[in-house]
Every structure is written in structure tokens, then in C-alpha cells.
């Protein structure tokens, strides 16, 4: 599995309330949530993000409420992966459950800037900064997590198993 895109960079402690503001939680439609993704931290994010782009963030990304809406809005906005120094535990699990690839790598935050082009090899956990010609070793996805992400989420993964 690989991801490749342009980087949007955010700081430490990006909580779920700025990923998808609570005023939009009356919808569970991914397309509607995507329209408001990161709105309270970068009002122009949804106008600039393209399919395949990547978020790089500091520590504790996805802290706050345990809502699945946050990773759903990120994925529906077209983001192919979130790289962070660390993730809030519930956000980490919710992201995998909905099929949003995420990878922890402390060094990547300091070595990747907004606008850089980055490629990620999930099998090896290697993050390539194509703009700067550098690379970082993150945590590789175990095979079972790769299968969940490839299936676009845990429910699809389970349903695929029932159909085989």
C-alpha cells in the first residue's frame, strides 16, 4: 500500500472539534462532513485539499471527543494519510475502523513542511519527502490493519470475510 500527495501541516493537539466542528455533527454524510473538515483551524483547507493529499501534524492529533466524524471528514475530503508525532488513542482506532491510513513518526514532523510532496510505503513504514529527497521510518502497518484499510474500513472487511 502507498499514498502520495501534497502536505498540509498542523501543530500539536489538533482536537476533533477543529477537525470537524460540533455544529456540523447533525450530519453523518461523509460528503457533507468533508465540506467542513478543518474549517476552524484553516478555513481554506477544503478549497485547497486534493484527492491524495496528506496531513502532517504534531503530538496528540485527534484528541478530544471520540466521534468517528473526525476521521470520516478527513477521508471524505480526499486526504490519503495522516502522519503525526502521536495520535489520540480513540482517533487512531476510529481512523483504522473507517479505512483512513495513519502513521506515527516523530521525525517526519520536523523534516516535512507544508507544500512538500510526500510518498508513504505502508508495508515498510517509510515516508519519503520527494521535495527534499529525505526519508523517515515510521511505524509499518501490520498485515491485518492493511487489510482493513484496503477494504475501506472494518465493516467492509468483516463483510468481505462473510462473502468468501
DSSP per residue, 12-33: S--BHHHHS-GGGTT---HHHH
What CA–CA distance (Å, rounded) separates 39 from 56?
A: 16
**61-115 pLDDT, tens per residue?**
999 987 899 999 999 999 999 999 999 999 999 999 999 999 999 999 999 999 9
Say what the pLDDT of residue 162 is: 66
Cα separations in angstroms, 69 against 76, 85, 102: 10, 21, 16
pTM for this model (two decimals)? 0.92
What CA–CA distance (Å, rounded) separates 158 from 71?
A: 19
Task: Identify which has the larger pLDDT, 147 or 10.
Answer: 10
Q: What is the mean pLDDT of residues 24-29?
A: 90
Q: What is the mean pLDDT of residues 119-134?
A: 95
Residue that is written with C-alpha cell 480513540 in the block: 90
Q: What is the mean pLDDT of residues 6-23?
A: 96
Say what the pLDDT of residue 106 is: 94
What CA–CA distance (Å, rounded) separates 129 from 115?
A: 11
Q: How confident is the model at residue 128 (pLDDT cuts 50, 70, 90)?
A: very high
Taking 90 as the threshold, does the pLDDT of residue 117 lie above it? yes
Say if strands 117-121 and 126-129 run parallel, antiparallel, or are unpaired: antiparallel
Q: How many CB atoms lie within 10 A of CB 88?
A: 22
CB distance 58 to 114 below 8 Å:
no
Q: What is the mean pLDDT of residues 14-22?
A: 94
Burial of 58 (0-12, 13-18, 19+ CB in 10 A): middle
Strand ordering across the sheet containing 2-9: 102-104, 81-84, 54-57, 2-9, 117-121, 126-129, 134-137
> Which letter does DSSP use for residue 118 in this model?
E
> Which cell numbers in the block locate residue 120?
508513504
Say what the pLDDT of residue 164 is: 57
Amino acid at each position: 500500500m502507498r499514498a502520495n500527495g501534497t502536505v498540509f501541516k498542523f501543530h500539536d493537539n489538533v482536537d476533533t472539534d477543529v477537525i470537524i466542528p460540533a455544529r456540523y455533527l447533525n450530519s453523518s454524510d461523509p460528503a457533507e462532513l468533508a465540506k467542513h473538515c478543518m474549517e476552524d483551524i484553516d478555513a481554506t483547507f477544503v478549497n485547497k485539499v486534493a484527492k491524495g493529499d496528506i496531513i502532517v501534524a504534531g503530538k496528540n492529533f485527534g484528541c478530544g471527543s471520540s466521534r468517528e466524524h473526525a476521521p470520516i471528514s478527513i477521508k471524505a475530503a480526499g486526504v490519503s494519510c495522516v502522519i503525526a508525532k502521536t495520535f489520540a488513542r480513540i482517533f487512531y482506532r476510529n481512523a483504522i475502523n473507517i479505512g483512513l491510513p495513519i502513521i506515527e513518526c516523530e521525525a517526519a514532523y520536523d523534516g516535512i513542511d507544508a507544500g512538500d510532496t510526500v510518498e508513504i510505503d505502508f508495508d515498510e513504514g517509510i515516508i519519503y519527502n520527494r521535495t527534499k529527497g529525505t526519508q523517515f521510518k515510521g511505524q509499518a502497518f501490520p498485515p491485518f490493519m492493511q487489510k482493513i484499510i484496503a477494504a475501506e474500513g472494518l465493516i467492509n472487511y468483516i463483510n468481505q470475510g462473510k462473502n468468501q
